[in-house]
Amino acid sequence: MDANDVQGDIKHVLFSKEVIDAKIKELAAQIDADYEGKDVLLVGVLKGAIMVMADLSRALKGHYTQDWMAVSSYGSGTKSSGVVRILKDLDTDLSGRDVLIVEDIIDSGLTLQWLQGNLKSRGANSVEICTLLRKPKSVKTDVQVKYVGWDIEPEFVVGYGLDFAERYRNLDCIVTLAPHVYS
């Protein structure tokens, strides 16, 4: 779906499909250079990272395996409870592997910091993070992120995997929503 399909719901297009594609290729080139010759596992964080993971893995030149996790710290509310639950765990043994967590966006960073520590405790050689978007003004912890597409303001964004009430994930761009959508 492109922005024209939901034009009335969009306040502003932050990143077009073409701009996102170029950024993904740039991140892939950095990752390929850093991990040349290593046994790397890409770990996508469901559901938001689906688009980033798919396009990033296609842009990478080396051999990378993939696995997926789903974690939650929200329960049924809209604010983090601070307690992380694993909803879907990895199928892959991490012993001796270099792990690259692939994320769509980093807000507070609390869940991601917990996840990074959890994966390190499983015997991985290294656990790094790649995210398409980060909100530096919202980050509440010193989570180390090796690859960042863009730093953005702390506004609510959707598209390219990011959702509002499970909608807009399939937008091929990243946008802010018009207030009438969520009010």
Query: Would you name the residues annotated as active-site residues?
Result: 107
> Per the structure block, which two tokens stand in for 139?
């980050």
Question: What is the secondary structure of 124-160 as a DSSP string?
Answer: -SEEEEEEEEE-TTT--S----SEEEEE--S--EEBT
The set of long-range contacts for 163-170, using a CB threshold of 8 Å and a minimum separation of 24, is 163/47, 163/48, 168/6, 168/9, 169/47, 169/48, 169/50, 169/51, 170/1
Residue 167 neighbours by CB distance under 10 Å:
13
Residues, the chain: 183
